[in-house]
């Protein structure tokens, strides 16, 4: 019986090749998108998994509540781990610090010649950290390898890179920052990509504690580099810790009128998803984005299934006779439903095979879009196979069940006489489904238009300074390097094509920011903090900053003269900026004179408003040389800068980046989102319109006789085309009306995450309507024109 | 009114070429009622379709009053057809989705008659056809004879000069068939020219002239004396 059904299924699919093709094409594209989205989500959800006791591991974080709002850091003040260990003895099993750092690693060969020089991330970790997180060790163990100062543990890959063979690495020495020599005391198994802990070089925390300039008693300083993890005792609930933490914070943090500082606890399982708190891998994936993707995937699949349902129910009429005959022969409805579901299953499986091929083809693009190492390996991730099987079953039921019910429900008496009318297959439902399908399509079109417009706006919005053709060349700030600043600057300035240079900590807009309290004009500490920028006197010229009042400061190595932005003075309630010139400002326990007010510039991403900014001179805090170049000569200039730099600092590692690249990096999420929207909108438009084409083909066939009669009665081709198109245009029009409010909600929510954003105008909506209506018109006209032009009389001959 | 000369029509399919009309000559006077008879496959329907401008012959000439129709382009043919001709088919060919009223109204819409005028015209003909209480029904709700009366009504509503009927009684029993034939006669009496294809000599006896076709050409012609006398 099953074999016979399969045979009939196969013959039917073959007979209606056109519809089968449309169904399989739509379904396979929809399925491929779903599989891609699934493997991406699976990959993202696999981060930081598999640690023993993973549900008892937490990270301590710091947050500030102030008049300006709420801020969080993934780090804690350096004394926190010790204090926490002591105060929470009864609740917590282990507490371990880990600090991220980075610098130049050198390895010498046996003869003492420098063999390798690389810039690497380096971590300082307490043995407890590795007791909490059971990373796999190939050699050594946390207790032995990380208790002594100046010992280092390498990952297998890093050991291979530095010493050729990790088996021979233990006992050898590496040099860090031309300063320390560390002995290799252990080897870690390579940490997979899906980890928030890219630990390749881990130095004992004791080494860090021995540095003279590090202060382990100050609670007033929090660096996002200082993370701390703890392991809860099995019987203790995290709520208990959380209820005591406010008291703990109160006990240690200094009270101060500008805000309240607190320590809180974050579960390890949240580390990869929380975008407000970062992690060492610098990759977070907010869960809401994953949900968003899952929803888009569901939409895609739904759209494809709607095609299927529409075409199947439309075709149902032509199969009514078969149903009638089978019923007369004694087939039960259940058996018929089963038969039709077999057909759907056949189509779904075919579609799946194609979907797998499409997935493989699309995967490289997806990998480069997300810069993640996602793979479509059923063997290493059997869950993907489970998903695929579930997908096929769900699709078969979603797409097949309703048509099966319709067809199996035909009355045999009518069916045999071929008296089932074209409307029997749920014409009303078909219309509703088309409206749903096109609403989804229109929402995606509108969304895409708005996302692209906002991206464009961000690219083109004047930031208040000129970030183009400026390289930030990093420099060290140790005393030896400081001595060479002047010679470096002089030599770089002489390169033809270099317009201006400035030593500074950060460019005007940066994701590295320093906030500080200050006193204005001898009064109380201001009730807000300023974003501080330290730079030399050429900063304003190099970045094209302009003044609202006063001038730039003159050359100095320490705080002497100060420049602030307009926002800072407005927040201090200064109305006339000139009044402020000459006033004293006290910051970092030093005093300077306010000599200028720069016009406001965007110092953060366009998601954020402009902060109050203070710019002054502190030579030992510069970390970069900003080099403004003639944009046509960048390619020629950069290698020359590198050469001069390497001549000047032969011991160090040259690195440079472009300011405009760094700025566009702020919008990486939005860029990815833009690409996704474009792709998925394209896919959904394609699926919807091939579905529409299938449907109009069907309708045209169904109405051949009617078209012929009308033609005999004098209808012109245009009138016939208009008649056939009419209902489709109306459906798409209604879909637009349904889509607009939903799209409006969605885009206004998305745009509200930007402080600087485009106004929502009628245009994306109108454009989406025009696009959808025009494509509909073209799609259906192609087919209805053919129908209206077909030979009339043949259609009239027979009943 | 109609002068057809040397009409030839060949159907080409993949395998065979069928000469459906092979040099037909036919004249029809205004107000005449002509029957076309002949064995199955001799080209009757083809001739009617060519006369109704639904099909294009290979060669020959077709003059309607003084207009040569075979040189017209598609749009002109369509316009000419909707102004001057009405059709009645064996299988009625009503549109299932439209009511009786709407079916009859359709040719008026294509002739761009204003709505109010359409209403009077349709109601007039519905009354004449004796189907007043059926005007809101759909075709499936009518008997075959009623359906054919609707089809005749639809063919007449535009007051065409020429009505072409292809076996109008073929699907009807004899009493219903007679009703339709009487309708056609009444119509003919008001001056409309009718060309009808039929297999039934009973039906043919209602006409003025009977033309016999065989293998695509006219083999004989017979004047129906009784009817012509009646006419006088
Ligand atoms: N569309 C077509 N394609 C090919 N051959 C056709 C076509 N229409 C008609 N024919 C052929 O042309 C010839 C004449 O057909 P036509 O329909 O005019 O016959 P008829 O006299 O009306 O027959 P009947 O009395 O059975 O209705 C037949 O041999 C038929 O097979
Ligand atoms: Mg015929």
Q: How many angstroms separate the CA atoms of A455 and A674, rounded?
A: 8
Q: List pLDDT tens digits, range A12-22.
A: 778 778 888 88
Q: How many angstroms separate the CA atoms of B71 and A394, rounded?
A: 60
Q: How many angstroms separate the CA atoms of A341 and A338, rounded?
A: 5
Residue A60 and residue A204 in one domain: yes
Q: How many angstroms separate the CA atoms of A378 and A717, rounded?
A: 54
Reading the block at residue A357, the tokens are 């091929």
Nearest by CB: A793 against B55, B75, B94: B55
Per the listing, tokens 């005028």 go with B117
| Between residues A554 and A258, the one the model is more confident about | A554
How many CB pairs below 8 A link A and B? Answer: 49
CA distances, A286 to each of A444, A669, A747 (Å): 21, 10, 18
Residue A363 and residue A410 in one domain: yes
In a domain, A674, yes or no: no
| 3-class DSSP state of A473 | strand
> Strand A151-155 vs strand A180-188: parallel, antiparallel, or unpaired?
parallel
Q: How many angstroms separate the CA atoms of A38 and A276, rounded?
A: 25
Residue A170 and residue A80 in one domain: yes
Phi first, then psi: give them for residue A186, nearest 5 degrees.
Answer: -170, 160
CA distances, A741 to each of A288, A721, A736, A765 (Å): 21, 31, 9, 10
Which of A602, A617, A651 finishes a domain? A651
User: Which of A300-309, A317-326, A483-492 is least confident?
Assistant: A317-326
B92 Cβ under 8 Å from any chain A Cβ: no
Topology of domain B2-231 in CATH is Rossmann fold (3.40.50)
Which of A634, A651, A668 finishes a domain? A651
Q: What range does the domain containing A352 cover? A: 1-47+285-425
Residues paired with A184 in a beta bridge: A152
Q: With 90 as the cut, is the pLDDT of residue A734 above it?
A: yes
Hey, of B43, B45, B74, B78, which one would you mutate to test binding to chain A, going by the most A CBs within 10 A of its CB? Answer: B78
Whole-number Å distance, alpha carbon A792 to ligand 1 midpoint, is 15
Those residues of chain A whose CB sits closer than 8 Å to some CB in chain B are: 421, 705-706, 708-717, 719, 792-793, 796-799
Which of A270, A297, A317 finishes a domain? A270
In a domain, A324, yes or no: yes
Residue A11 and residue A30 in one domain: yes
**H or E segment and range at residue A520:** strand A519-520
**Average of per-residue pLDDT values in chain A:** 84
Reading the block at residue B137, the tokens are 């029904």
Q: With 70 as the cut, is the pLDDT of residue B230 above it?
A: no
CA distances, A697 to each of A28, A268, A306, A311 (Å): 21, 55, 16, 10
Residue A542 and residue A574 in one domain: yes
Closest CA to A598 of A616, A586, A584: A616
Q: In the predicted model, what is the mean pLDDT of residues B188-216?
A: 90
- Residue B16 Cβ inside 6 Å of ligand 1? The answer reads no
Closest CA to B37 of B216, B211, B225: B211
* Torsion region of B53: left, alpha or beta (phi above 0 gives left; psi -120 to 50 gives alpha): left
Is B106 within 8 Å of A706 when comparing Cβ atoms?
Answer: no
Nearest by CB: B96 against A421, A712, A793: A421
pLDDT band at B232 (very low <50, low <70, confident <90, very high): very low
pLDDT band at A799 (very low <50, low <70, confident <90, very high): very low
DSSP per residue, B124-160: HHHHHTT-GGGTT--GGGS-HHHHHHHHHHHHHTT--
Q: What residues of A are in contact with residue B45 (Cβ under 8 Å)?
A: 797
| Chain A CA closest to residue B108 | A713
Whole-number Å distance, alpha carbon B42 to ligand 1 midpoint, is 7
Q: How many angstroms separate the CA atoms of A127 and A146, rounded?
A: 6
Among B7, B13, B14, B46, which residue has the most ligand 1 atoms within 8 Å of its CB, making it the best to mutate?
B46
Q: Is the separation of the CB atoms in A197 and A191 below 8 Å?
A: yes
Q: In the predicted model, what is the mean pLDDT of residues B185-190?
A: 88
Atom of ligand 1 nearest to the CA of B43: 18
> Strand A590-598 vs strand A561-565: parallel, antiparallel, or unpaired?
parallel
| Chain B CA closest to residue A795 | B93
In chain B, where are the structural domains located?
2-231
Angle at which helices A479-494 and A634-648 cross, to 10°: 150
- Residue A796 Cβ inside 6 Å of ligand 1? The answer reads no
Quick one: which ligand is closest to B15's CA? 1
Is A709 within 8 Å of B110 when comparing Cβ atoms?
Answer: no
Q: Is the separation of the CB atoms in A510 and A657 below 8 Å?
A: no
Atom of ligand 1 nearest to the CA of B197: 22
Reading the block at residue A353, the tokens are 């095979």
Residue A235 and residue A253 in one domain: yes
Chain B closest CA to A449's CA: distance in Å? 41
Tell me the percentage of chain A whose pLDDT exceeds 90: 17
Q: List pLDDT tens digits, range A396-426.
A: 888 888 878 777 777 666 655 555 555 555 6
B1 Cβ under 8 Å from any chain A Cβ: no
> How many domains is chain A built from?
3
Is B54 within 8 Å of A798 when comparing Cβ atoms?
Answer: no
In a domain, A409, yes or no: yes
**Within its chain, how far is the Cα of B49 from the centroid?**
9
- Residue B45 Cβ inside 6 Å of ligand 1? The answer reads yes
In a domain, A435, yes or no: no
**H or E segment and range at residue A792:** helix A792-797
Residues paired with A627 in a beta bridge: A471, A501
Residues paired with B214 in a beta bridge: B217
CA distances, A141 to each of A23, A79, A146, A159, A448 (Å): 58, 26, 8, 16, 52
ipTM over the 0.95 cut-off: no
Q: With 70 as the cut, is the pLDDT of residue A205 above it?
A: yes
Per the document, the length of chain B is 232
Q: In the predicted model, what is the mean pLDDT of residues A248-263?
A: 81
| Chain A CA closest to residue B56 | A791
| Residue nearest atom 29 of ligand 1, based on CA coordinates | B41
How high is the pLDDT of residue A265? Answer: 93
Q: List pLDDT tens digits, range A319-366.
A: 776 777 777 666 777 777 888 888 888 888 888 999 999 998 988 888
**Long-range pairs for A289-293: beta carbons < 8 A, 24 or more residues apart:** A289/A669, A290/A41, A290/A44, A290/A45, A293/A37, A293/A40, A293/A41, A293/A676
- Residue B46 Cβ inside 6 Å of ligand 1? The answer reads yes
Q: With 80 as the cut, is the pLDDT of residue A792 above it?
A: no
Across A556-593, b (16+ Cβ under 10 Å) vs e yields eeebbbbbbbbbbbebbebeebeebeebebbbeeeebe
Q: Is the separation of the CB atoms in A538 and A501 below 8 Å?
A: yes
Q: With 90 as the cut, is the pLDDT of residue A153 above it?
A: yes
Q: List pLDDT tens digits, range B24-76.
A: 999 999 999 999 999 998 989 889 888 988 888 889 999 988 888 888 887 78
In a domain, A253, yes or no: yes
**H or E segment and range at residue A640:** helix A634-648
Q: List pLDDT tens digits, range A467-486.
A: 888 888 888 877 778 888 88
CA distances, A637 to each of A70, A88, A215, A470, A504 (Å): 43, 57, 41, 11, 20
CA distances, A415 to each of A326, A410, A412, A422 (Å): 10, 6, 5, 12
- Which residues make Cβ contacts (< 8 Å) with residue A273, sequence separation at least 6? A284, A285, A286, A287
Per the document, the length of chain A is 799
| Residue nearest atom 19 of ligand 1, based on CA coordinates | B41
Q: Is the separation of the CB atoms in A162 and A174 below 8 Å?
A: yes
- Residue A478 Cβ inside 6 Å of ligand 1? The answer reads no
B 150-169 → A contacts, CB under 8 A: 154
Q: List pLDDT tens digits, range A40-84.
A: 888 888 888 888 888 999 999 998 887 666 778 888 988 999 999
Chain A closest CA to B230's CA: distance in Å? 33
Q: How many angstroms separate the CA atoms of A396 and A305, rounded?
A: 9
Hey, of B93, B102, B141, which one would you mutate to test binding to chain A, going by the most A CBs within 10 A of its CB? Answer: B93
Nearest by CB: A793 against B54, B91, B111: B54
Q: How many angstroms separate the CA atoms of A526 and A611, rounded?
A: 14
| Between residues A272 and A700, the one the model is more confident about | A272
Q: How many angstroms separate the CA atoms of A434 and A730, rounded?
A: 11
Q: List pLDDT tens digits, range A532-578.
A: 888 888 898 888 888 888 888 888 888 888 888 888 888 888 888 88
Is B87 within 8 Å of A712 when comparing Cβ atoms?
Answer: yes
In a domain, A700, yes or no: no
Chain A closest CA to B221's CA: distance in Å? 27
> Strand B193-197 vs strand B33-37: parallel, antiparallel, or unpaired?
parallel
| 3-class DSSP state of A88 | coil
- Residue B39 Cβ inside 6 Å of ligand 1? The answer reads no
In a domain, A439, yes or no: no
| Between residues A525 and A763, the one the model is more confident about | A763
pLDDT band at A490 (very low <50, low <70, confident <90, very high): confident
Q: With 50 as the cut, is the pLDDT of residue B7 above it?
A: yes
Atom of ligand 1 nearest to the CA of B216: 14
Q: pTM surpassing 0.95?
A: no
Q: Is the separation of the CB atoms in A107 and A174 below 8 Å?
A: yes
Among B10, B14, B18, B40, which residue has the most ligand 1 atoms within 8 Å of its CB, making it the best to mutate?
B18
* Torsion region of A676: left, alpha or beta (phi above 0 gives left; psi -120 to 50 gives alpha): alpha
Residue A174 and residue A159 in one domain: yes
> Strand B33-37 vs strand B209-214: parallel, antiparallel, or unpaired?
parallel
Is A712 within 8 Å of B52 when comparing Cβ atoms?
Answer: yes
Q: Is the separation of the CB atoms in B143 and B92 below 8 Å?
A: no
Is B82 within 8 Å of A711 when comparing Cβ atoms?
Answer: no
| Chain B CA closest to residue A709 | B93
Cα radius of gyration (chain A): 34
Residue A164 and residue A232 in one domain: yes
Quick one: which ligand is closest to B41's CA? 1
Q: Is the separation of the CB atoms in A688 and A438 below 8 Å?
A: yes
Reading the block at residue B5, the tokens are 């000369």
Q: With 50 as the cut, is the pLDDT of residue A444 above it?
A: yes
Residue A524 and residue A566 in one domain: yes
Chain A closest CA to B30's CA: distance in Å? 22
| 3-class DSSP state of A347 | helix
Residue A300 and residue A233 in one domain: no
Question: From the CB of residue A521, how many other CB atoms can be counted at a distance below 10 Å?
Answer: 14
Q: List pLDDT tens digits, range A627-667.
A: 998 888 888 888 888 888 888 887 777 888 888 888 887 77
Whole-number Å distance, alpha carbon B167 to ligand 2 midpoint, is 7
Question: From the CB of residue A43, how many other CB atoms can be counted at a distance below 10 Å?
Answer: 18
| 3-class DSSP state of A184 | strand
CA A122, A274, A137, A189 torsion-angle sign: negative
Residue A4 and residue A93 in one domain: no
Burial of A67 per CB tally in 10 Å (0-12, 13-18, 19+): exposed
Q: What residues of B are in contact with residue A705 (Cβ under 8 Å)?
A: 93
Residue A255 and residue A324 in one domain: no
CA distances, A646 to each of A476, A639, A642 (Å): 13, 10, 6
Per the listing, tokens 């690219």 go with A459
In a domain, A631, yes or no: yes
- Residue B36 Cβ inside 6 Å of ligand 1? The answer reads no
Angle at which helices A382-408 and A287-316 cross, to 10°: 30
């Amino acid at each position: 019986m099953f074999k016979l059904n399969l045979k009939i299924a196969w013959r039917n699919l073959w007979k209606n090749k056109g519809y089968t093709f449309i169904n399989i094409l739509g379904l396979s594209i929809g399925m491929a998108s779903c599989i891609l989205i699934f493997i991406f989500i699976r990959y993202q959800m696999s981060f930081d998994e598999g640690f023993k006791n993973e549900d008892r591991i937490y990270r301590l974080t710091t947050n500030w509540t102030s008049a300006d709002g709420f801020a969080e850091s993934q780090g804690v003040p350096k004394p926190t781990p010790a204090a926490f260990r002591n105060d929470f003895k009864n609740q917590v099993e282990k507490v371990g610090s880990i600090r991220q750092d980075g610098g130049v690693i050198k390895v010498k060969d046996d003869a003492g010649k420098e063999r390798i020089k690389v810039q690497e991330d380096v971590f300082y970790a307490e043995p407890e950290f590795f007791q909490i997180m059971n990373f796999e060790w190939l050699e050594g163990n946390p207790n032995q390898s990380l208790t002594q100062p100046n010992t280092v543990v390498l990952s297998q890959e890093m050991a291979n890179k530095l010493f050729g063979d990790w088996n021979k690495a233990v006992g050898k020495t590496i040099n860090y920052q031309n300063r320390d020599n560390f002995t290799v005391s252990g080897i870690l198994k390579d940490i997979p990509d899906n980890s928030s802990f890219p630990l390749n070089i881990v130095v004992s925390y004791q080494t860090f504690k021995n540095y003279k300039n590090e202060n382990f008693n100050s609670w007033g300083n929090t660096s996002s580099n200082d993370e701390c993890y703890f392991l809860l005792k099995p019987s203790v609930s995290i709520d208990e810790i959380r209820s005591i933490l406010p008291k703990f914070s109160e006990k240690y943090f200094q009270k101060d009128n500008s805000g309240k500082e607190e320590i809180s606890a974050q579960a390890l399982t949240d580390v990869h998803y929380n975008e407000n708190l970062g992690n060492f891998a610098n990759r977070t994936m907010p869960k809401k984005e994953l949900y968003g993707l899952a929803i888009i995937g569901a939409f895609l699949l739904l759209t494809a299934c709607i095609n299927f349902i529409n075409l199947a129910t439309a075709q149902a009429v032509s199969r009514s006779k078969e149903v009638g005959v089978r019923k007369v022969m004694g087939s039960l409805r259940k058996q018929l439903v089963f038969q039709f579901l077999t057909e759907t299953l056949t189509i779904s499986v075919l579609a799946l095979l194609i979907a797998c091929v499409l997935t493989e083809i699309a995967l490289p693009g997806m990998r480069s879009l997300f810069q993640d190492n996602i793979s479509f390996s059923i063997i290493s991730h059997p869950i993907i196979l489970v998903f695929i099987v579930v997908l096929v079953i769900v699709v078969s039921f979603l797409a097949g069940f309703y048509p099966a019910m319709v067809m199996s429900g035909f009355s045999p008496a009518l069916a045999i006489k071929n008296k089932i009318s074209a409307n029997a297959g749920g014409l009303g439902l078909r219309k509703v489904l088309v409206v749903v399908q096109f609403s989804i399509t229109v929402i995606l079109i509108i969304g895409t238009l708005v996302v692209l417009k906002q991206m464009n706006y961000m690219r083109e919005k004047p930031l208040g300074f000129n970030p183009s053709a400026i390289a930030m060349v990093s420099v060290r700030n140790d005393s030896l390097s400081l001595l060479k600043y002047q010679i470096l600057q002089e030599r770089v300035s002489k390169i033809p094509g270099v317009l201006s240079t400035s030593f500074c900590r950060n460019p005007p807009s940066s994701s590295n920011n320093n906030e500080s309290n200050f006193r204005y004009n001898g009064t109380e500490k201001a009730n807000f903090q300023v974003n501080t920028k330290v730079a030399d006197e050429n900063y304003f010229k190099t970045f094209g900053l302009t003044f609202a009042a006063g001038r730039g400061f003159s050359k100095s190595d320490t705080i002497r003269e100060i420049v602030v932005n307009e926002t800072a003075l407005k927040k201090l309630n200064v109305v006339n900026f000139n009044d402020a010139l000459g006033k004293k400002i006290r910051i970092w326990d030093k005093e300077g004179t306010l000599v200028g007010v720069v016009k406001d510039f965007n110092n953060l991403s366009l998601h954020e408003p402009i902060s109050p900014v203070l710019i002054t001179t502190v030579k030992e805090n510069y970390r970069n040389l900003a080099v403004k170049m003639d944009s046509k000569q960048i390619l020629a200039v950069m290698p020359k800068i590198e050469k001069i730099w390497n001549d000047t600092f032969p011991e160090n590692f040259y690195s440079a980046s472009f300011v405009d690249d760094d700025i566009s990096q702020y919008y990486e999420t939005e860029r990815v989102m833009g690409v996704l929207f474009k792709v998925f909108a394209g896919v959904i438009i394609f699926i919807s319109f091939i579905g529409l084409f299938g449907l109009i083909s069907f309708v045209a066939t169904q109405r051949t006789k009617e078209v012929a009669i009308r033609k005999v009665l004098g209808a012109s081709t245009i009138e016939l085309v208009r008649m056939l198109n009419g209902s489709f245009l109306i459906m798409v029009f209604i879909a637009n009306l349904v889509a607009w409010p939903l799209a409006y909600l969605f885009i206004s929510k998305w745009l509200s995450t930007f402080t600087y954003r485009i106004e929502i105008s009628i245009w994306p909506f109108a454009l989406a309507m025009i696009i959808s209506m025009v494509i509909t018109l073209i799609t259906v006209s192609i087919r209805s024109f053919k129908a209206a032009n077909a030979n009339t009389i043949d259609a009239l001959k027979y009943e | 009114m109609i002068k057809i000369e040397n009409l030839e029509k060949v159907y080409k399919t993949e395998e065979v070429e069928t000469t459906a009309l092979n040099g037909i000559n036919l004249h029809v006077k205004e107000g005449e009622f002509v029957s076309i008879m002949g064995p199955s496959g001799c080209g009757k329907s083809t001739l009617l379709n060519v006369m109704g401008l639904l099909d294009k012959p290979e060669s020959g000439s077709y003059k309607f009053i003084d207009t040569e129709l075979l040189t017209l382009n598609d749009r002109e043919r369509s316009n000419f057809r909707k102004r001057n001709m009405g059709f009645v088919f064996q299988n009625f060919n009503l549109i299932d989705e439209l009511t009786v009223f709407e079916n009859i109204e359709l040719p008026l819409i294509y002739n761009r008659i204003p709505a109010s005028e359409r209403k009077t015209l349709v109601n007039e003909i519905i009354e004449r056809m004796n189907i007043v209480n059926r005007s809101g029904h759909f075709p499936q709700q009518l008997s075959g004879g009623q359906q054919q009366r609707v089809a005749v009504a639809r063919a007449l509503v535009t007051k065409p000069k020429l009505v072409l009927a292809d076996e109008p009684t073929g699907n009807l029993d004899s009493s219903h068939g007679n009703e339709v034939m009487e309708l056609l006669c009444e119509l003919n009496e008001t001056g409309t020219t009718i060309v009808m294809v039929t297999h039934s000599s009973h039906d043919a006896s209602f006409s003025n002239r009977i033309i016999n076709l065989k293998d695509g050409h006219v083999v004989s012609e017979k004047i129906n004396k009784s009817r012509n006398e009646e006419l006088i």
